[in-house]
Amino acid sequence: MPASLFAPLTERPSLNRVLLRTLVVIAYLIIFAPVTMIVVTSFFAQEIVSFPPTALTWRWYVNAWDKPEFFRGLLTSLQIALIAAAIGVPIGTAAALAIVRGEFPGKQAISALLLAPLAVPGVVAGSGLYMFYVLAENTLDRDIKATTEGLVAAHVLVTIPWTVRLVVASLQGLDRAAEEAAANLGASPFTVFRRITLPMMRPGIVAAAMFSFIQSFENLDLSLLLVGPGRITLPVAMLNYLEFRIDPTLAAVATVQILIVGVLMVVTDRFVKLSRVV
């Protein structure tokens, strides 16, 4: 039989692979184009961004460092994100464990309720929390909105759904054979959880902590409505600066944010392979 008859069969997979790789490259370019533009723009010398740049400079980073609101906002964002992750991740982990391993009435409804904040727009959630805080202040006769405690509580509500989602995904992929073997050998339920279940859950918990920190650190919608005077987060400080100036200073600050998040993701992936959880 002539070999030419088999040529289309052998060439078609190669063509498909080339097309697939081309589409993947295009997708990556679309994803990274905004980030690349922000980083490149932060080095433009001219105050009004235009292409091509007349020169490159570091002065916008110096200008951002000279603005105390950016530094205070960075410290506040780091503090709020760390506290919110430290509170929300254990709560979300316990809830995820109960959802996957427990059997109780209304489990599906509780699971949907815990994941619901992911589907609610941030502005809607922030407005609802603001009105709830006003009502709670009138009832309890104490300040809640525009306080650090109120802002942390709002960010905890952001961290819990991410933790539940990632830890549930991690638990559903675990093989329970090791847990059952340990129980058959006489280990107590607490020992099984501490020595076997918790170490196997570690990738999901670490990924949940990272994503919770990032979601809180970069959150604008909730923070914009709940921050108090002199206690603003970095995204709010950037928005306030944008009201009066339009220059690459914001690109420089955003580049620092990207660098912090990127380093966090690389370090986390070094110890826990995120591709196995996310």
- What's residue 10's pLDDT? 47
- What's residue 9's pLDDT? 47
- What's residue 44's pLDDT? 86
DSSP 117: G
At 141, give phi and psi (nearest 5°).
60, 50
Half-sphere exposure of 8 (CA within 13 A, CB side): 1
Distance CA 217, CA 209 (A): 12
Q: Tell me how crowded residue 12 is: count the other CB atoms within 10 A of its CB.
A: 10
In three-state secondary structure terms, 69 is helix
Residue 84 tokens, joined: 């919110």
Residue 46 tokens, joined: 């001219």
DSSP 235: H
In three-state secondary structure terms, 247 is coil
Distance CA 232, CA 67 (A): 14
**Residue located via tokens 């991410």:** 162
Which CB contacts under 8 angstroms, 24+ apart, belong to 242-251?
A: 246/48, 247/47, 247/48, 247/60, 247/63, 248/41, 248/42, 248/43, 248/44, 248/47, 248/49, 248/60, 249/60, 249/63, 249/64, 249/67, 251/38, 251/39, 251/41, 251/42, 251/44, 251/60
- What's residue 226's pLDDT? 85
Beta-strand ranges (E) seen in 93-221 are none
Distance CA 77, CA 231 (A): 10
Q: Tell me how crowded residue 237 is: count the other CB atoms within 10 A of its CB.
A: 23
Contact 254, 262 (CB under 8 A): no
Q: Tell me how crowded residue 162 is: count the other CB atoms within 10 A of its CB.
A: 26
- What's residue 278's pLDDT? 56
Angle of CA points 85, 251, 53, to nearest 5°: 160
Each of the 278 residues of the chain gets a pLDDT tens digit; together they read 455 554 454 445 577 888 888 898 999 889 888 888 888 888 888 877 777 777 888 888 988 888 888 999 999 999 999 999 999 999 999 998 888 887 878 888 888 888 888 888 888 888 888 898 889 888 888 888 888 888 999 999 989 998 998 888 888 777 777 777 877 877 787 888 888 888 888 888 888 898 899 989 988 888 888 887 777 888 998 888 888 888 888 889 999 888 988 888 887 777 666 655 55
- What's residue 118's pLDDT? 82
- What's residue 249's pLDDT? 87
In three-state secondary structure terms, 230 is coil
* Contact partners, residue 156, CB within 8 Å, separation at least 6: 84, 87, 88, 91
Q: Tell me how crowded residue 68 is: count the other CB atoms within 10 A of its CB.
A: 9
